[in-house]
Amino acid sequence: MTPSLPSRAGLPARGLDLLRQKLHLWTQRHEEAWLFLMASLVGLAMGVASVLFRMLLRVSHRFFHREAETFVGWRHGIGDIWSLLGQALLPAAGGLVVGLLIYRILRLKGGHGVPSVMKAVATGQVNLHPSMAIKSATAPITIATGGSAGPEGPIIEIGAVVGSSIGSLARARKDMMGTLVGCGGAAGIAAMFNAPIGGVVFALELIMRDFHVRKFGPIVIAAVIASVTSSALLPNDPAFHRLAETTLQTIEPSGFLVLQFLALGAACAAAGVLLINILYWFHDLFHEFPAPLWVKPAIGGLTVGLIGLLAPGVLGEGYETVNRVILAAGPAPQQIGVLLQTLLILALLKILVTSITLGSGGTGGTFAPAMVAGALVGAAVGLLADRFFPTTAPDFRVFAMVGMAGVVGSSLGTPLAGVLIIYEVAGGRYELVLPLMITVAMSTLLASRMRKGSIYTLSLLRDGFDVESQQRRTRDPLEGMPVRDLMSSTFLTVRPDDPLPRLLSLLEESEENAFAVADERGRLRGVISTNDLRSVVNLGEIGGAAFIAGDIVDSNAPVLRPDSAAGKALEIFSTTDVEGIAVVEDEGGARRCVGMVFRGDVLRAYRKAARAGG
């Protein structure tokens, strides 16, 4: 109950208190409208935040780039040496600044932020600390100085914190808070790529892992408002260039097209799994490296800078590299071999520098690097397809665009979001739908066979937390509990020829509402419940007296095994009126009853597990 101010507080204070009480009552009576209003605020805030984030990234990039030019320019005699030294040291300087800010000054915990958001939503602990957003705000320093990372992961984390903060201020319920966290993540992706559909599916597929209609509506509102706000504040500023009309016209559905994009899916699966493996290998390497935490990002930055001397295109988030591929002219036949090697080497180097940047403790996300690696791998596969199938293969730039979705799906575990984000980035061209679906389906399927977990879920699995199991337990508190833990081994058994009076007598003497019917060899014939007896007794004394157990037994009653999931018992009790379920084991080709599960026991276990999980 909302407390009232004392009368001496004055008329303005009493009026404010009355308004607050009325608002409180309105939010209680119109929860859905209140949730949509909060989701709108999250979308608006994230639209502005994404613009500020992109402007900060742009200003940081220009600042560091200008400083590097000034530093090079004041020694004309050995300008080339200083230029090379400046390029190599700039990522190290960025790593040092980030390391000092996070680990020495703010003393924040490192690690990926998106898995933390996923864990918070899965466990219901959605009061996210603002430090998560502060840590993510240092990502422009990492990216602008040359660290290979993306801005999408940090903007998702910032969005999650914004959603949680708005929910806390509005005193929203825990389930509404979780939805608002998802709204923030969806709004961040939608604003960064101007892809509201992709942002919605990304949040539902990765963060919420739930497509329930109650959560769908607010997340859509947040994503759309964020995308519209971002587009209004920064018009004509797409992350990627769109494919030319003549390029899209090279896509002609055929059997060869399916085979070519299945091959692309296989290549994207290999690239995605390679990214996961190398990233966590460097993560472990830097974790064991004997150096202070705040120094490690600088060491990683120096390594990245040295690699960048060989291939500057792999530094930063890499959007410009993708755009150069998309806008590139088709190579001459004699140049295909060299270009093919160059693309594959750049893809490997991009995976390498991303793993070093993030593994050493630099801030940023893996979304953009996965897209860049996918574009490079896709272009390489496209050149091969054009060489072997010159009359049926689409333009290699189509393969580059589709490859982005393939590696995103295989490495991040977001196949639907990968398809829809690239579809929207490409201008919503229907010609790309078939190649996108084929490639992402293949890449995701193969990647799941090659290793368990995505970049995000593997981080949690290594900490001993399985987000999928946790969410299954949240939906079904009896998840993982076998029937043998609930069944009663001491239960009533009657013979098929036992008369009705004996059955009624047993029912009066026992607290059980059902008993098994088995023959002299212990083989289960079925189950009799109180409902079965009640229907017979209602026939009257003449009709009921002649009945025996064999006449009343439900021979088609559901049965369970000792290792069956307890949730299955709950499902049976929820959809039927049975009071008890026989638990059986196979013995000599017959079913032998080894226990009974009763409705009351299952419901008590469910409530206990739900309280423990909540």
Q: What is the 3-state secondary structure (H, E, C) of 20-49?
A: HHHHHHHHHHCHHHHHHHHHHHHHHHHHHH
Is 278 found in the same domain as 139? no
Tens of pLDDT, residue by residue over 517-536, are: 888 777 888 888 877 777 77
Is 450 found in the same domain as 506? no
Q: With cut-offs at 50, 70 and 90, classify the pLDDT of residue 380.
A: very high
Q: Is residue 577 classed as helix, strand or coil in its secondary structure? A: coil
CATH number, domain with residue 86:
1.10.3080.10
Please report where in the chains the tokens 């293969």 appear, as a residue.
Answer: 393
Mean pLDDT (whole number) for 217-224 = 94
Q: Is the pTM of this model over 0.85?
A: no
pLDDT at 31 over 80: no
DSSP label at 294?
Answer: T
End-of-domain residue from the set 233, 264, 292: 233
Is 268 found in the same domain as 385? yes
Of 3-12, 32-41, 374-383, 509-518, give the lowest mean pLDDT range. Answer: 3-12
Cα(556)–Cα(579) distance, integer angstroms: 14
Query: How far out from the chain centre does Cα 570 lie?
Result: 28
Element spanning 515, H or E: strand 514-518
Q: Which sign does the torsion angle of CA 472, 475, 480, 483 carry?
A: negative
Is 364 found in the same domain as 229? no
End-of-domain residue from the set 233, 264, 282: 233
Under 8 Å between Cβ of 402 and 436: yes
410: nearest Cα among 458, 376, 454, 348: 454
pLDDT at 559 over 60: yes
Task: Name the CA dihedral angle for 185, 186, 192, 196, rounded to a multiple of 10 degrees.
Answer: 180
Of 77-81, 239-243, 343-347, give the lowest mean pLDDT range. Answer: 77-81
Most confident of 160-164, 330-334, 336-340, 596-600: 160-164
Is 254 found in the same domain as 342? yes
Is 10 a domain residue?
Answer: no
Q: How many independent structural domains does the chain possess?
A: 3
Is 151 found in the same domain as 91? yes
Higher pLDDT, 452 or 346: 346
Mean pLDDT (whole number) for 213-236 = 89
Of 62-66, 71-75, 198-202, 425-429, give the lowest mean pLDDT range. Answer: 71-75
CB proximity list for 525: less than 8 A, separation 6 or greater: 496, 517, 518, 519, 550, 553, 555
Q: Are strands 514-518 and 559-560 parallel, antiparallel or unpaired?
A: unpaired
CATH number, domain with residue 508:
3.10.580.10
Is 565 found in the same domain as 506? yes
Mean pLDDT (whole number) for 95-107 = 89
Tens of pLDDT, residue by residue over 479-527, are: 668 888 888 888 888 888 888 888 888 777 777 778 888 887 778 888 8
Is 159 a domain residue?
Answer: yes
Is 357 found in the same domain as 283? yes
266: nearest Cα among 401, 412, 450: 450
Percent of the chain exceeding pLDDT 70 equals 86
R_g over Cα of the chain? 31
Under 8 Å between Cβ of 411 and 269: no
Cα(354)–Cα(537) distance, integer angstroms: 75
pLDDT at 611 over 70: no
Q: With cut-offs at 50, 70 and 90, classify the pLDDT of residue 270.
A: very high
Is 221 found in the same domain as 274? no
Is 130 found in the same domain as 195? yes
Tokens of 596: 């009974």
- Give the per-residue pLDDT at 373: 95
- Give the per-residue pLDDT at 504: 80
Under 8 Å between Cβ of 557 and 579: no
Q: With cut-offs at 50, 70 and 90, classify the pLDDT of residue 38.
A: very high
Residue 230's φ and ψ, nearest 5 degrees, are: -65, -45
- Report which residue type is found at 214: R
Higher pLDDT, 427 or 607: 427
Is 195 found in the same domain as 249? no
Under 8 Å between Cβ of 150 and 136: no
Tens of pLDDT, residue by residue over 176-192, are: 888 999 999 999 999 99
Q: With cut-offs at 50, 70 and 90, classify the pLDDT of residue 473.
A: low
Mean pLDDT (whole number) for 460-472 = 77
Q: With cut-offs at 50, 70 and 90, classify the pLDDT of residue 76.
A: very low
Region for 2 from its dihedrals, namely left if φ exceeds 0, alpha if ψ lies in -120 to 50, beta otherwise:
beta
Distances in Å between the Cα of 451 and the Cα atoms of 358, 410, 437 are 20, 10, 21
pLDDT at 437 over 70: yes
End-of-domain residue from the set 425, 449, 472: 472
Q: With cut-offs at 50, 70 and 90, classify the pLDDT of residue 575.
A: confident
Is 240 a domain residue?
Answer: no
- Give the per-residue pLDDT at 263: 96
pLDDT at 242 over 70: yes
pLDDT at 15 over 80: no
Cα(49)–Cα(412) distance, integer angstroms: 24
Is 550 found in the same domain as 584? yes
Q: With cut-offs at 50, 70 and 90, classify the pLDDT of residue 1.
A: very low
250, exposed or middle or buried, with CB in 10 Å at 0-12, 13-18, 19+? middle
Tens of pLDDT, residue by residue over 297-312, are: 999 999 999 998 888 8
Most confident of 126-140, 240-254, 393-407: 393-407
Query: How far out from the chain centre does Cα 367 lie?
Result: 12
Task: Name the CA dihedral angle for 220, 55, 232, 33, rounded to a multiple of 10 degrees.
Answer: 30
pLDDT at 25 over 90: no
- Give the per-residue pLDDT at 218: 93
Q: With cut-offs at 50, 70 and 90, classify the pLDDT of residue 244.
A: confident
Q: How many residues does the chain have?
A: 614
Higher pLDDT, 556 or 162: 162
Q: What angle do CA 20, 21, 25 make, to 5 degrees?
A: 115
How many CB atoms sit inside 10 A of residue 59's CB?
12
Mean pLDDT, the chain, whole residue set: 83
Is 164 a domain residue?
Answer: yes
Is 425 a domain residue?
Answer: yes
Percent of the chain exceeding pLDDT 90 equals 35
Tens of pLDDT, residue by residue over 322-361, are: 888 887 777 767 678 888 899 999 999 999 999 999 999 9
Is 4 a domain residue?
Answer: no
pLDDT at 63 over 70: no
Of 81-85, 270-274, 400-404, give the lowest mean pLDDT range. Answer: 81-85
Distances in Å between the Cα of 574 and the Cα atoms of 479, 524, 592 are 16, 24, 25
Is 128 a domain residue?
Answer: yes
Cα(460)–Cα(453) distance, integer angstroms: 9
- Residue 68: give the domain boundaries: 21-233
Distances in Å between the Cα of 611 and the Cα atoms of 134, 208, 479 are 34, 21, 14
110: nearest Cα among 281, 286, 352: 286
pLDDT at 423 over 60: yes
Q: With cut-offs at 50, 70 and 90, classify the pLDDT of residue 65.
A: low
- Report which residue type is found at 87: Q
Is 478 a domain residue?
Answer: no
